[in-house]
Amino acid sequence: MTTTHPGSVRRIPEPNYPNFPAEEIAARCRRMREVMAEEGLDLLLLTERENVVYFSGLSSCAWVQKGVVPAVVLLHVDTDEPVMLLPDFWLGTAEKTTWYRDFVLHHASHSDPHDFVNLLVSTIKERGWGGGRIGYEAGHEMLMGLPIADWEHLRAQLDAPFVPAGEPIWKVRMIKSPLEIDLMRRAWLIASASAREGWGMTLTEAAACGTPAVATRIAGHADAVQEGSSGILTDADPAALGEGLAQVLADRALRDELTAGATAWAAQLTWSATATQLMRVVADEVTRRRSPR
């Protein structure tokens, strides 16, 4: 394991507004490198907002701006310091919200459509990382945060095998740390304003920590929340959601009742119960098909 010694451009020693302590971010990156070694990955390219935030702590509103890639993170299996590439005008945001020290700044004016990717390619090559297996965000619920033209240009510039790394990333992200669990347990409630969900997994995880939900009434939330027992479902508009939040936050007795209900509900969501319910559905369907018509 080596430590990089960048010509750091960081102007403040520690972030002003970190979402997590340095030890938590370091542990996530360390666990990711361990999984990378198990999977035979030499370099991991992170571009999607959720992954960059998870492994760096970066908080930025820039993700909503089309044509601007706020940050890319490179994790090398044998280097304990991650690298973040970002436009120079986002350095202040990165300094205030992340513990990273190795920043590579993009100073160009985007006159070349591929100038950011060219910087990414040169960074990989200069550090001797261009010949190994490069993992990228592909797989279940994974998206690349680069425009397709930039992605194709990146692959054309690097003579290296690109390997889907969605499963290795989820191996790390799906296991909550003690700190994450503690934060969920300390929260009074969890809120979700989603318009569509396959399953409200974050609501279920919070319920397992005794944290009730206030969420919009959609199919995925209705599956994950026992309305009136483990949480409250509201109409999908800001006013209704706000009323639900105020109701739970202002009523201690209701909050205690929902907390107990959330814990009881989560206790039922086991692999054994899932298998039993699945076999019941299969058995009912077999019986239906065998019945005389």
pLDDT tens sequence across 244-258: 999 999 999 999 999
Q: Does residue 81 sit within a domain?
A: yes
pLDDT tens column, 87-146: 888 899 999 999 999 999 998 766 677 888 999 999 999 999 998 999 999 998 898 988
Residue 277 lies in a domain: no
CATH number, domain containing residue 108: 3.40.350.10
Determine how many CB atoms are found less than 10 A away from the CB of residue 113. Answer: 13
Of 227, 250, 239, the closest CA to residue 193 belongs to 239
Indicate whether 105 and 221 sit together in one domain: no
Both 169 and 28 in one domain: the answer is yes
> 3-class SS at 136?
strand
Residue 68: predicted pLDDT: 64
The answer to whether residue 279 is domain-embedded is: no
The pair of three-digit structure tokens given for residue 74, joined into one six-digit string? 């490179």
Sorted by sequence, the CB contacts under 8 Å of residue 133 that are 6+ apart come out as 40, 41, 42, 43, 160, 161, 163
Q: Tokens representing 248?
A: 């739970």
User: Can you read off the two tokens belonging to residue 286?
Assistant: 């077999």
Asked if 45 and 163 sit in the same domain, the reply is yes
Q: Are residues 126 and 192 in the same domain?
A: no
Structural domains counted in the chain: 2
46 lies in the same domain as 133: yes
Q: Global pTM? A: 0.84
How far is residue 28 from each of residues 33, 39, 51, 140, 170, measured CA to CA in Å?
9, 16, 11, 20, 12
Residue 175 in 3-state DSSP? coil
Q: Do the beta carbons of residue 136 and residue 97 sit within 8 Å?
A: no
Mean pLDDT of 47-69: 82
Q: Using DSSP bridges, classify how beta strands 190-192 and 83-87 pair: parallel, antiparallel or unpaired.
A: unpaired
Is the Cα torsion angle 132, 71, 116, 166 positive or negative in sign? Answer: positive
- Token pair, residue 239, equals 């006013």
Q: Which long-range contacts (CB under 8 A, 24 or more apart) does 215-219 make?
A: 215/191, 216/192, 216/241, 218/194
Can you tell me the distance from the alpha carbon of 41 to that of 134, in angstroms, rounded to the nearest whole number?
6
Residues in contact with 282: Cβ distance below 8 Å, sequence separation at least 6, in sequence order: none
Convert the pLDDT of each residue in 147-205 to its tens digit. Answer: 898 999 999 999 899 999 999 999 999 999 999 999 999 999 999 999 888 888 899 99
Question: In which domain, by residue range, is 205 found?
Answer: 178-270
Residues 81, 128, single domain; the answer is yes
Task: With beta carbons less than 8 A apart as the criterion, state whether 146 and 118 touch.
Answer: no
**120 and 227 part of one domain:** no
DSSP structural state of residue 22:
H
Closest residue by Cα to residue 178 from 8, 9, 20? 20
Q: Verify that 54 and 73 share a domain, yes or no.
A: yes
Domain limit, last residue, from 119, 154, 173:
173
127 and 201 part of one domain? no
* Predicted confidence (pLDDT) at residue 5 exceeds the cutoff of 50: no
Helix axes 49-56, 22-39, angle to 10 degrees: 120
